[in-house]
Structures are given as C-alpha cells and as structure tokens.
C-alpha cells in the first residue's frame, strides 16, 4: 500500500520543553481585496465632459448623467454628505440671523408699541410672540419676537400696556394665535434618528458590506446577498507564477478550456464536468492556482470564502448560496471558486449544537444548487480545502465535484521550479545563476511546501538587507533555510559549559549513529548554536521516498535514539533534551504496529491513529489488543535502543571526536564529518543531479497536451 510519509526535512532537536513539529509558519500573503465600486466610479469623471454642448441635450439626459454619479463610491458619498450638512447649517444660520431679532417686553412696549408701528401680534405655539410691523413703517428689517411665560399673563400685560399708552378700541392690536413647527419636534426626534442611522450603518458595515459593487444601498435587507466578488482582469497572478503542481495546473486549464471550447468535448459525446475540488496540505498553492486561473482564464471568475456563508442570522447561509449561484448563472460561462469549503461542507449529522443545523442547511442548499443547473449552464465550480476528510460525501460525489485534484508537497523538481518563480524578483549576486541556485536549494529543502519556499526566498532577502548587503548571496539563502527550519539563532542564550557539553555529545550521537546506519538519511549539518526551536539540531537530507521497509524505519528510529544513547554512554545520566526524539520514535513505533501491520503478533491490521488534537472516545480495537500493541511498541523501541547502544559503544571514540570538534566549532557540515570519520560506508545522494537521476528529465515536465495548447482562447471550429 502506498502511504504518504511526511518527511519534512528531518531534523532532530534537543530541547528542554515540549516543542511542536519543526514546521515553519506560513508566509501567506493576504489576498488583495478588490475595491468595491471601482467599475462604477470610472464613469463619474466623464459626466461633466459633455456638459458644455447645448443645454437641451444636457437636460434631456440628466437622468443618465445622474446615474453616472458614483453613489457607491464611499469617498464620494462622504464628501457629498458633509457638503450637504455644511450648506444646510450655513443656510439656517443666515436665515435666522437676518430674519429674527429677540427683544424684551419692555423694548417692545417702549420702542414699537408706543410708536404705533406694529400691525399685529402673532402668538406662536403659545410660547413666542412675533411682532409684525405695519407695511412701510418697519423700524428694523424682518421681524422681532419675544418670549412669553403664558398666554394669560401676556394678554393681561398687553391690556395694561395699551391702557397705559392710551390705545383704545379700534387701535388696539389684533392678536393672532398660530402654531408653527419650530424645530423642537425635529430636535426631539434626533436621538431616534441617530439610533436608526447607527443601526443601518453597522449593518452595512458588517457582513453585508463590501458586497457586490453596483448593488447600492441594501441595509438590513442585503444580508442574504452573496458576498462573492466577480473578478475580471484585476488579478496579476499568472500561471507562470505557479510551479511544482503541473498536473493540477493542467486539470484547471482543462476546465477553462471546457468553458471556452465546449464543442471540442461535446463532439465526442463527453459531458463537461461541473466542478473540481483542490485538496492538499497548507501552503501548496491551492489558492494561488485559483488566483492564477482568475488572472488568465478570460472568463469571469467569482470568488467567495466558505466562511462567508456563516452568519449569526438564521437562514442567511442558504440565502447567500442561492444568491451566489444566481450571480454565477448571470455571468455564465464563468468559474466559481469557493475557498476553504470545509467551513460549509462539513459532514452532516454530527451532533446538533447551535450553529450546526444552520451549517447543514447551507450545505444542503449548496448540494441542491450544484445539482440544480445542467451542464449547459457552463458554470464550473472549483473549491479549495485542506480537510477533504471532513467533507460531506454527498458534496464530493461525481456530478458535483467530479474531480478531486490533490496538490501534494512538491517533489525535488517541483521545488526547483518554485524556487525559480520566487527567485525571479530577487537581486542575486552576479556569480549566482538562478537556475543552478534553484536546483541547489531544491536539494536542500526536502518536504518544503510552496509557501515555505516563498518564505525562504523572502527571508534570504531580509537577511541580506539586515547586513546591508547589495545583493543576495548563497550564504544568505543557507541562513534563511536554517532559520525557517530551526528558528531564530539565539546569540544571547548562554548555555552553561556543562549543558553545552551534553548538547554536543547528544548531537554527535545522532550524527555518528546516522553515519554508520545504512538506511539513515545523509547528514547535512550539525549545530549546537541554540535556535528558537531547540538547543541544537542536526539536519539531514531525506530521500524523496514514498515506501519504507521495516529495516529503513528501524534505522531511522535508531538514529533518532542516538542522542539519548550517547548521553547515557558518556555521562551515565540522561537529560530532558531527548523529549522531541522520543516523541518521534514513539510515533513511528505505533505507526509501524497499528497502521502499517509490520508486527507479527499484532498482525496485518491497520487502525487509524488519533491525529493531534483529536479526541478519542473509543479505541477501534479491544483492550487485549491495546495491551498487546503497547507491549509490542515498548519491545520495538527497546530493540532499537539496544541496537543503538551497541553501535555507539563500538564507535565511542568517533562520537567523542565529533563531539569535541562540535564544542570547538559549534557547526559541523558533511566535509568535517568526512574528515573526522572517513567516507561514509554507504553510497548516498545529496545533489540535485543525483536525486533526479533516473526520473527521466532534469526539470519538471511543463508541456501541454495537444488539446490544451490554446486553452484560454476561443477556437473557431469548422463544421
Ligand atoms: N506551487 C507554488 N508555486 C509558487 N508559489 C507557491 C506555490 N505554492 C505556494 N506558493 C506560495 O505560497 C503562498 C501560499 O500559497 P496558497 O495561498 O496557495 O496556499 P494554499 O494551498 O491555499 O494553503 P491553505 O490550504 O492554507 O489555504 C503563495 O502565495 C505563494 O507565494
Ligand atoms: Mg488557501
């Protein structure tokens, strides 16, 4: 049986704390969010252009011109609103300043009433009195007004004043009662208006925001709209930027060809597949491949993220799926890419906690939509995930995702091509040839994913910049690899001489054990400079190997145990430093017995081992088997330990030599080892040329099959 073996550039770490896998962090670039409304705003500027030409014409198409105003553009909207608010304020200010002037009762009586210039009084809302002057006699422009306590008092005061001034009968001032909106009502509404505005604002800003350009204001009602983006020619990733996964690339190109030239296939009676799912470990280029497709396919590319379907509102998920497919059909022929589909595609019926059923509904809707349109609709659905194992089987069946494209970690040729891609923008030392360097680096980085390689190239440039180097040299690349594998070098961490000695003998134990074990990986470098992930490390060059024999696995186990054995032989005491080694050995032993059926007593069986972080409620085997497995594991490790002990006891002098040299130089490479121990008794491969020997070609095969030569062009078919 073939099994995938994760041989990530094997390193053995000596560490005092529980450390995780030597897996460098992903250097994932955030994908640029395309700005919404970009296409609309382009029209805004041209609107004024034709304005000079004859008023008539201008008037007749004012509506079209109005439509061209980029209302969707956030900045425009903000400017527009602030300008409106400003002018309103200014307007109010002038209006009130000019028109009205407040006076006191006394002023009113002395300056106006006694002079006989008043025509009538208007009591407004029982609170203010507006004084209206007789025409032509107004002493001030506009009108004056004053406050009154109550209508009763006002009437009484007016009566008294008129009596005192001797205004009688006919001449008495008429008083009119009116009510007018004076803004206080609006003022009292203000808090409510503000709250509503705020709610609408947050809703728009929230999940529904950033939606499709051109949809205008949706507010609360747009949560059910899809958040997918339609990309056309705005992605600058091309297929030449994706390397090391030629097969996957071909498959995707074929999908584009399906859309462009369906006849080529339909003539032979073939149906066009509806979708493909890209699976594989993180950082192998799934999203990148999709981006490249968007960049080159010449068909609309709709992209959406699996998590965008899940929302706190019930029913939003399915509604968005529906809307997404409506959008896709409108743009057909097109490609629809759902990244990280495991967010919605999780297996159904696994406990119904809270959001679970909502997710199931979303999935059901997705299943319906993918089935619902026929092949003539010309929508191809691509999806990306790195957990295909948790996806619902119904989603994966042919008819929905017809093809499953696995993008694994790149092999040595693939890595060389990926290095070439990422070396392209770098300023290298003139003595370095990009092709040669790429091959050399590919040989040094087994198990690296595309993202790791991108990270190495970037780190090399950063290291060069740190040392104010004009160009990037090979040394910078080597440092970058070390950094990516082992973590940051800790110059300040001072080890006690005693500890340093232990680390040196530990690493020497690994190195010497590996040197004399046939199936152990060739050593590349041993170092006892403390790094982020451990106190010392030995780096090996594992072969690109997919099948291992029992003997090979045993040799690897023995080499991993070499560190602890050496400590035991030289110091008769052991330290905590071997924890990482022991974990690896235990894992390997369990895998051999439980998964690979390599033990006679347990027999030819294979059970799933729990993954890291998974909860195991029930073992798939009986208690008796469990006990047998445990004892066999212990025995296997014991055998390996004894074997290593015997080997290193025999080679004690060699271990000592290596350890002393290590203490002196801190870093040993293969040449030092040859100098100390003589040639390794087994043939080994270490260069690119040796690794790729016998695989047919020196580089990746990037040729296209006949039918895909013009994959993104529409062909003229002759009938
Ligand atoms: N095959 C490749 N060729 C060139 N560059 C690659 C390749 N694979 C990965 N990379 C680099 O790694 C980065 C991350 O890759 P990408 O986003 O495609 O990973 P992914 O497979 O989608 O991972 P995940 O499963 O975590 O989403 C890319 O931006 C690119 O720089
Ligand atoms: Mg991805």
- DSSP string covering 591-640: IIIIIS---TTT-S---PPPPTT---SS-SS-HHHHHHHHHHHHHHHHHH
CA of 416 to the centre of ligand 1 (A): 15
The SS3 of residue 7 is: coil
pLDDT at residue 634 above 90? yes
Task: Render the burial of 395-418: b for 16+ CB within 10 Å, e for the rest.
Answer: bbeeebbbbebebbbbbbbbbbbb
Q: How many CB atoms lie within 10 A of CB 480?
A: 22
Does ligand 1 come within 6 angstroms of the Cβ of 602? no
Candidates 674, 676, 644; CA nearest to 567 is: 644
Q: Flag the least confident range among 272-281, 548-557, 680-689.
A: 680-689
- Model confidence over 100-133: pLDDT tens digits? 788 888 888 888 888 888 888 888 888 888 888 8
Does ligand 1 come within 6 angstroms of the Cβ of 593? no
Starting at the earlier edge strand, list the strands of the sheet with 403-406.
229-231, 301-305, 334-339, 379-385, 275-279, 403-406
Query: What pLDDT does 179 receive?
Result: 81
Query: What pLDDT does 131 receive?
Result: 87
- Model confidence over 460-507: pLDDT tens digits? 999 999 999 999 998 999 889 888 887 777 777 667 888 888 889 998
| Position 650 confidence tier, pLDDT thresholds 50, 70, 90 | very high
Q: Which percentage of the chain shows pLDDT scores above 70?
A: 81
Q: Which residue has the higher pLDDT, 427 or 60?
A: 427
| Position 71 confidence tier, pLDDT thresholds 50, 70, 90 | low
Query: What pLDDT does 350 receive?
Result: 63
Residue 584: which region, alpha, beta or left (left: phi > 0; alpha: psi -120 to 50)? alpha
Does ligand 1 come within 6 angstroms of the Cβ of 288? yes
The C-alpha angle 223, 226, 229, rounded to 5 degrees, equals: 130
Q: Flag the least confident range among 14-23, 176-185, 199-208, 297-306.
A: 14-23
- Supply the residues annotated as catalytic: 507
Does ligand 1 come within 6 angstroms of the Cβ of 231? no
pLDDT at residue 671 above 70? yes
Would you kindly state where each structural domain of the chain is located, as residue ranges?
Answer: 11-17+488-607+621-686, 103-184, 219-406, 430-486
Query: What pLDDT does 29 receive?
Result: 32
Atom 12 of ligand 1 has which residue's CA nearest to it? Answer: 451
Q: Which residues are CB-neighbours of 69 under 8 A, at least 6 positions away? A: 44, 47, 76
CATH topology of domain 103-184: name from scop (3.40.1690)
Helix (H) or strand (E) holding 504: helix 497-516
pLDDT at residue 28 above 80? no
What are residue 12's DSSP bridge partners? 538
* Rounded CA separation 404/384 (Å): 10
CATH superfamily label, 219-406: P-loop containing nucleotide triphosphate hydrolases (3.40.50.300)
pLDDT at residue 134 above 90? no
Provide the H-helix boundaries in 1-102: 38-46, 55-60, 62-68, 74-99
Query: What pLDDT does 50 receive?
Result: 37
CATH topology of domain 430-486: Helicase, Ruva Protein; domain 3 (1.10.8)
| Contact between 514 and 555 (Cβ < 8 Å) | no
| Contact between 391 and 342 (Cβ < 8 Å) | yes
| Contact between 453 and 445 (Cβ < 8 Å) | yes
Q: Which residue has the higher pLDDT, 455 or 498?
A: 455
| Position 715 confidence tier, pLDDT thresholds 50, 70, 90 | low
pLDDT at residue 145 above 70? yes
CA of 698 to the centre of ligand 2 (A): 29
Stretch 578-588: mean pLDDT: 90
Phi and psi at 113, nearest 5°, equal: -65, -45
pLDDT at residue 458 above 90? yes
* Residue to substitute in 245, 283, 293, 456 for testing ligand 1 pocket (most ligand atoms within 8 angstroms of CB): 283
CA of 3 to the centre of ligand 2 (A): 24
Stretch 21-31: mean pLDDT: 34
Query: What pLDDT does 150 receive?
Result: 87
First to last CA, the chain: 49
Q: Got the DSSP string for 390-427?
A: GB-HHHHSTTTS-EEEE-----HHHHHHHHHHHHTTS-
- Model confidence over 181-231: pLDDT tens digits? 666 677 888 889 999 998 888 776 654 444 444 444 444 556 667 777 887
Atom 19 of ligand 1 has which residue's CA nearest to it? Answer: 283
Q: Which percentage of the chain shows pLDDT scores above 90?
A: 16
| Contact between 285 and 407 (Cβ < 8 Å) | yes
Query: What pLDDT does 89 receive?
Result: 82
* Rounded CA separation 34/212 (Å): 10
Q: Which ligand is nearest to the CA of 30?
A: 1
CA of 290 to the centre of ligand 2 (A): 9
The SS3 of residue 385 is: strand
Query: What pLDDT does 142 receive?
Result: 73
Atom 17 of ligand 1 has which residue's CA nearest to it? Answer: 287
- Model confidence over 598-607: pLDDT tens digits? 888 888 888 8
* Rounded CA separation 225/215 (Å): 10
* Rounded CA separation 416/439 (Å): 5
pTM for the predicted model, two decimal places:
0.66
pLDDT at residue 148 above 70? yes
Q: Flag the least confident range among 1-5, 407-411, 526-530, 566-570.
A: 1-5
* Residue to substitute in 238, 408, 454 for testing ligand 1 pocket (most ligand atoms within 8 angstroms of CB): 454
pLDDT at residue 351 above 80? no
CATH number assigned to the domain covering 11-17+488-607+621-686:
1.20.58.760
């Amino acid at each position: 049986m073939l099994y995938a073996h994760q041989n990530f550039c094997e390193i053995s770490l000596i560490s005092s704390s529980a450390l995780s896998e030597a897996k460098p962090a992903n250097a994932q670039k955030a994908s640029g969010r395309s700005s919404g409304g970009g296409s609309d705003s382009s029209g805004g500027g041209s609107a004024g252009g034709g304005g000079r030409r004859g008023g008539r014409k201008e008037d007749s198409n004012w509506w079209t011109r109005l439509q061209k105003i980029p209302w969707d553009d956030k900045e425009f909207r903000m400017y527009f609103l602030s300008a409106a608010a400003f002018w309103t304020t200014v307007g109010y200010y002038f209006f009130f300043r000019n028109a009205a002037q407040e006076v006191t009762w006394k002023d009113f009586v002395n300056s106006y009433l006694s002079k006989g210039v008043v025509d009538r009084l208007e009591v407004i809302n029982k609170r203010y009195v507006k004084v209206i002057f007789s025409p032509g006699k107004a002493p001030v422009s506009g009108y004056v007004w004053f406050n009154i306590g109550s209508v009763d008092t006002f009437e009484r005061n007016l009566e008294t004043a008129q009596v005192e001034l001797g205004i009688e009968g006919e001449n008495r001032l008429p008083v009119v009662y009116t009510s007018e909106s004076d803004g206080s009502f609006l003022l009292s509404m203000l808090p409510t208006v503000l709250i509503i505005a705020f709610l609408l604002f947050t809703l728009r800003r929230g999940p529904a925001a950033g939606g499709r350009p051109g949809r205008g204001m949706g507010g609360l009602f747009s949560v059910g709209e899809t958040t997918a983006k339609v990309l056309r020619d705005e992605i600058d990733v091309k297929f030449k930027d994706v390397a090391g996964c030629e097969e996957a690339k071909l498959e995707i190109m074929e999908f584009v060809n399906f859309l462009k030239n369906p006849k080529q296939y339909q003539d032979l009676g073939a149906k066009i597949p509806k979708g493909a799912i890209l699976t594989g470990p993180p950082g192998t280029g799934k999203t990148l491949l999709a981006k490249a497709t968007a960049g080159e396919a010449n068909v609309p590319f709709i992209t959406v993220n699996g998590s965008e379907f899940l929302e706190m509102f019930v029913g939003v998920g399915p509604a968005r799926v529906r809307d997404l497919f409506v959008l896709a059909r409108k743009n057909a022929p097109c490609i629809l890419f759902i990244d990280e589909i495991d967010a919605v595609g999780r297996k159904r019926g696994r406990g119904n906690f809270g959001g679970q059923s909502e997710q199931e509904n979303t999935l059901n809707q997705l299943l319906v939509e993918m089935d619902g349109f026929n092949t003539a609709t010309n929508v191809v659905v691509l999806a990306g995930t790195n957990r295909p194992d948790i996806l619902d089987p119904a989603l994966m069946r042919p008819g929905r995702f017809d093809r499953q494209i696995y993008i694994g970690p790149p092999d040595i040729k693939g890595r060389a091509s990926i290095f070439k891609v990422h070396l392209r923008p770098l300023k290298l030392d003139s003595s370095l040839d990009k092709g040669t360097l790429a091959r050399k680096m590919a040989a040094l980085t087994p198990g690296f994913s595309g993202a790791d390689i991108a990270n190495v190239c970037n780190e090399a440039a950063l290291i060069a910049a740190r040392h104010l180097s004009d160009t990037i040299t090979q040394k910078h690349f080597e440092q970058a690899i070390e950094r990516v594998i082992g973590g940051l070098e800790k110059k300040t961490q001072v080890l006690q001489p005693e500890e340093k000695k232990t680390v040196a003998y530990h690493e020497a134990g690994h190195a010497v054990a590996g040197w004399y074990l046939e199936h152990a990986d060739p050593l590349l470098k041993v170092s006892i400079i403390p790094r982020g992930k451990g106190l010392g490390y030995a780096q090996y060059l594992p072969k690109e190997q997919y099948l291992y024999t029992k003997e090979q696995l045993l040799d690897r186990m023995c080499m991993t145990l070499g560190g602890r054995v050496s400590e035991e032989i030289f110091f008769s005491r052991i330290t905590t430093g071997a924890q990482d080694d022991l974990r690896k050995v235990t894992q390997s032993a369990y895998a051999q017995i439980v998964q690979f059926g390599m033990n006679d007593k347990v027999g030819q069986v294979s059970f799933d081992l729990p993954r890291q972080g998974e909860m195991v409620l029930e073992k798939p085997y009986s208690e008796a088997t469990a006990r047998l497995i445990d004892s066999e594991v212990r025995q296997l490790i014991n055998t390996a330990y004894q074997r290593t002990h015997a080997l290193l006891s025999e080679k004690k002098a060699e271990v000592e030599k290596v350890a002393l040299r290590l203490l002196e130089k801190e870093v040993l490479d293969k040449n030092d080892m040859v100098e100390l121990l003589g040639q390794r008794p087994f043939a080994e491969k270490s260069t690119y040329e040796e690794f790729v020997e016998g695989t047919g070609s020196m580089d990746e095969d990037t040729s296209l099959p006949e039918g895909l030569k013009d994959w993104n062009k529409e062909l003229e078919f002759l009938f």
